[in-house]
Structure 1
Amino acid sequence: MYISQLEAEKLSDQQMTNLLFKDIKDNGKSGECIFVAGSSKAVLYRLPKAVQLYEEGRARKMLFSGGVVWDGNERPEAITLKKEAMGLGVPETAILTEDLSLHTKENVLASLLVLDRAFSLHHIERILVVTTFYHMRRLHLTLKTYMPHWIEYTLCPVNDKMTRPDGWFHTEIGRKRVKEECTKLIKYVKQGALLDMDVNI
């Protein structure tokens, strides 16, 4: 069934799990760049995965995307992530930043110019994508919608405390996040803002 055929309010827990988490896994391939979407907890959950991928030699550059300045922080997401990555030993020359975007679509759109200047888009064959599990489906579809069609993606999802694939339904926060994410995903696909896809739910 295609995402555009779904009604968020009618989905069961299992269907929501399948919609957001099914077949989201790292295929082990390398690429030109590690793309990290910012969030309020990106330093805690997403940064370690990005640094691990870099240290494994799976990409020679990483791009931190995000312009939101969260409460208690003086810097945009991307700049905070860069600072923390350097503190973990990643050289500044390996780090690209985009600090204008305020949401997922803008993460992708604002990163196009950064990637083109760093690589030339026609030289990019694969991007390694780092975000939380529950956000990965929407980020992946956003990349496929707005990035050049020849670029392929390796999905490198990370767990946070509340939205693990096998336990999001055990907490009120986990339920809220997953339901909101399903609603956003379906809404944006129906609006035409994201590519539709066939999902086995």
Structure 2
Amino acid sequence: MRKSSGRGGMMKVSEITKDNISNEIVDRLLFEGLEYDGRAADIIIVLGSRTACNYRVPLAAELFHKGKAPRLIFCGGKVQMTMLGEMAEYKAMLMAAEKCGIPRERIYAETRSQTTAENLMFAREIIEREYPQCGSVIIVTTAYHMRRAQKLGEKILRQEIITCPAGRGSTQRGNWYKTEKGRMTALDECLKFGYYIRNGLIDDFEI
């Protein structure tokens, strides 16, 4: 991964390779313009992961308690070793939500998904069935995963998407380039976009 000191020209995300990626491209693609802007929405969607109950759910609870959305969808059917034991992601998230004071009746559980795209595909089914008047969603996921979630949400949900990245770990905007782990995680995330674009899951775009 090469370094760059200037913004340079725009490029299509599909054109990114291991050979032409730079720190500047990583920053633009994964982090630029994705900070939560404080807007309210109809639903908060929390994407699943092994550690979602650690930090994504508490952030979603903070949004809920501030009145930013009246309902939530917890996504994730993959069985993983979470801090609460080995279980499906959504189950750990529900347990964490109880500790955070979110009433169970305000949460829809998406129990089947194994990937980010499936998180949002199955969340859309819940919205269409349970809350068809929904017009906007806040997506909560980890910071470096936020752009991919945003673009998938635009394609799959067809709702107004409000991004709310959860800052944690070695791959945040302010530290990803400081460790080998952070750099490798960021590079891997950037290169995943090519797969998603080639398979029609997201539309190509310029950065």
Q: TM-score, normalising length from structure 2? A: 0.89
Match runs of 1:1-201 below 5 Å: 1-71=11-81, 73-120=85-132, 123-148=133-158, 151-199=159-207
- The answer to which of 64-73 and 179-188 deviates more is 64-73
Following the alignment from structure 1 to structure 2, what is the Cα–Cα distance between the partners of residues 190 and 76? 30
In the alignment, residue 50 of structure 1 is paired with which amino acid? A
Q: Which string of whole-angstrom CA distances, capped at 9 and with x for unpartnered residues, describes residues 156-177 of structure 1?
A: 1011111110111111211111
Shift of 1:134: 0.4
Following the alignment from structure 1 to structure 2, what is the Cα–Cα distance between the partners of residues 118 and 25? 29
Q: Which string of whole-angstrom CA distances, capped at 9 and with x for unpartnered residues, describes residues 55-97 of structure 1?
A: 0001000110001111363421112101210122111111111
Indicate the SS of the match to 2:46: strand
Instruction: Say which structure is richer in helix.
Output: 1
| Alignment size in residue pairs | 195
Shift of 1:5: 3.0
Shift of 1:35: 0.4
State the partner residue of 2:6. Answer: none
Following the alignment from structure 1 to structure 2, what is the Cα–Cα distance between the partners of residues 4 and 170? 26
Following the alignment from structure 1 to structure 2, what is the Cα–Cα distance between the partners of residues 18 and 81? 30
Contact 2:52 2:93 in 1 (8 A): yes
Contact 2:57 2:93 in 1 (8 A): yes
Q: TM-score, normalising length from structure 1? A: 0.92
RMSD: 1.4
With CA pairs under 8 Å and 6+ residues apart, which has the higher RCO, 1 or 2?
Answer: 1
Shift of 1:8: 4.1
Indicate the SS of the match to 1:57: coil
Contact 2:120 2:156 in 1 (8 A): yes
Contact 2:138 2:162 in 1 (8 A): yes
Structure 1, unmatched stretches of 5+, are none
Shift of 1:54: 0.1
Indicate the SS of the match to 1:64: strand
